[in-house]
Chains A and B, each alone.
Chain A
Amino acid sequence: MSAGAGQVGQRARAAITGIGLVSPLGTGTRKSWDALLAGTSGTGPITRFDASRFGVRAAGEVKDLEPELYVPRGRIRHMDRFSLLGACAARLAVMDASIEDGSLDPERTAVVMGVGLGGLSTIETVHEALRERGPRFVNPYFIPMIIPNMAAGWVSMLCGIQGESLTVATACASGAHALGEALALLRRGTADVVLAGGAEAAVTALGVAGFAAMRALSTRDVEPSMASCPFDEDRDGFVMAEGAAVLVVERLECARARGARIYALLAGYGASSDAHDLTKPDPDGRGALLAMKRALGDAGLRPESLDHVNAHATGTPLGDRIEAAALGELLGDRRSLVPVTSTKGSTGHLLGAAGALEAGFLALGLHHQVAPVTLNLNRPDPRCVLDHVMGEPRRCSIGVAMTNAFGFGGTNACLVMTRHEE
């Protein structure tokens, strides 16, 4: 055991001491959180490319980011947007955790990022150059810009992290798996601090066309700010979004020793696979339920202790229904007593970053004792009977909370957090 290690072990809980959000609700944790609680929608008409022929009008775009504040200007041209968003979120997280420059032990700090798709916009522009002008016009930075591990690579370079630099690619569960793996690293004892989260920037012509071709996206004729409506009877698909979220997760002893503010404790992680279909969830929600049970078990808790859930619910007809059924089975008699939220109503679906953003919201909810609202949920689907948080956020006592993330390929991740009281 290294000098820096103290209590580590299979059940050890980790402190969440910093949250960096770059979301469609705004850049900066405070801005995103306040907008979420205020009932603001982060989704709107697609502006990042001409989507007039796509039949899809809405997306959640990051509009207020000034990357020069977080990344040296000369480096930005060598970063795909997903890496840029991830790097900015990581810098924000470190600042939020009040970690001074140079105060981290580089070798005892690690980074784990979840990325679903990687450098899609760079693939599009470089492919165009290849087609139109030939192979000698391919950007020499093409490969280091598109590989999914480059978000973690940039976080490592910009923050001086010399421990593990890992990337999880589990589609829309990536961000949650990344946080779970961060907890595993801390328990294993090879790191004291992990920067963990997710980054995605797939609101591009190819990205939107691809998900639209699967009929996964909402095409309803409503205001783009209202298109994302998880659990609602009128839901008809999800709304794509971009963004990044990075959390500073550290061994509780380290956080206490430096007097850090602790938002919440990351207490449990569960993962599973459906072993069923490429894109459709298991009809009985068995994989989802297994992940939830494992996460609670990992935290040493039972379903009866749950006070709040941030659901994966993206707004697809099938996915929301199956998750609701799995939650219903988990909660049993308490299914109408545990406030459930899908913050995707406000943000849209950040794909590989979604699980991390929602983990950030979960930690903030535990810290401030509030369950955010599921925006645009007006008429709950009678097949999704749960205690939905509708209309406005709910102030309530939250001791134990859980967030779900499920990805194509039938991959599931679930995180359990607990309240930290000084």
Chain B
Amino acid sequence: MNYEDLQQEVTRAVARVIDRDAADIEMDMLFIEDLGCQSLQIMEIVLELQSVFGIEIPDHDIDALRSVGDAVQYVKGRLGG
């Protein structure tokens, strides 16, 4: 999966969880401040990323996922790309 595809997949996953149009979601957007996520929604996004990318995201990694771009970078690292 190239980087652009990865960005798209992550954006779509986030959009599904927060019920927003993927086109309105940008890489530098912060989950809490910009997208209005509540704590359980962030956990729901983590669950969605786990399901989409077939990875497990341990608790100690979750706090670092503050923006959509953070999530893309994190998944990229975990997929070894």
Contacts and interface: CB of A to CB of B under 8 A. Distances in A.
A136 B50 contact: yes
A74 interface: yes
A139 B47 contact: yes
A140 interface: yes
A137 B50 contact: yes
B47 A137 contact: yes
B43 interface: yes
Q: Count chain A CB atoms within 10 A of each CB in B43, B47, B50, B56 and give the residue with the most.
A: B47
A77 B43 CA distance: 14
Interface in B44-76: 44, 47, 50-51, 56-57
Interface residues of B, number: 10
Interface in A125-149: 134, 136-141, 144
A414 to B, nearest CB: 41
A69 B70 CA distance: 36
Q: Count chain A CB atoms within 10 A of each CB in B18, B40, B57 and give the residue with the most.
A: B40
A77 B50 CA distance: 18
Contact of B44 (A73, A134, A136, A140): A140
Chain B interface secondary structure, helix, strand, loop or mixed?
Answer: helix
Contacts, number: 22
Given A136-B50, A140-B43, A140-B47, A73 B19 contact: yes
Contact of A140 (B18, B19, B40, B51): B40
A357 B56 CA distance: 45
A79 to B, nearest CB: 13
Contacts of A136: 47, 50, 56-57
Interface in A91-141: 134, 136-141
B51 A137 contact: yes
B42 to A, nearest CB: 8
Contacts of A138: 47
A79 B56 CA distance: 25
Nearest to B41: A140
Nearest to B56: A136
A318 to B, nearest CB: 45
A358 to B, nearest CB: 36
Contacts of A141: 40, 44
Contacts of B18: 74
B27 to A, nearest CB: 22
Interface in B1-28: 18-19
B44 A139 contact: yes
Contacts of A134: 56
Nearest to A74: B19
A104 to B, nearest CB: 26
Nearest to A143: B40
A99 B37 CA distance: 32
A198 B18 CA distance: 29
Contacts of B47: 136-140
Nearest to A77: B19
A74 to B, nearest CB: 4
A361 B28 CA distance: 55
A406 B40 CA distance: 38
A179 B19 CA distance: 36
8 contacts: A74-B19, A136-B47, A136-B50, A137-B47, A137-B51, A139-B47, A141-B44, A144-B40
Given A77-B19, A137-B47, 16 more contacts: A73-B19, A74-B19, A134-B56, A136-B47, A136-B56, A136-B57, A137-B50, A137-B51, A138-B47, A139-B44, A139-B47, A140-B40, A140-B43, A140-B44, A141-B40, A141-B44
Interface of A: 73-74, 77, 134, 136-141, 144
The 8 closest A-B pairs by CB, nearest first: A140-B43, A74-B19, A140-B40, A136-B56, A140-B44, A141-B40, A73-B19, A137-B50
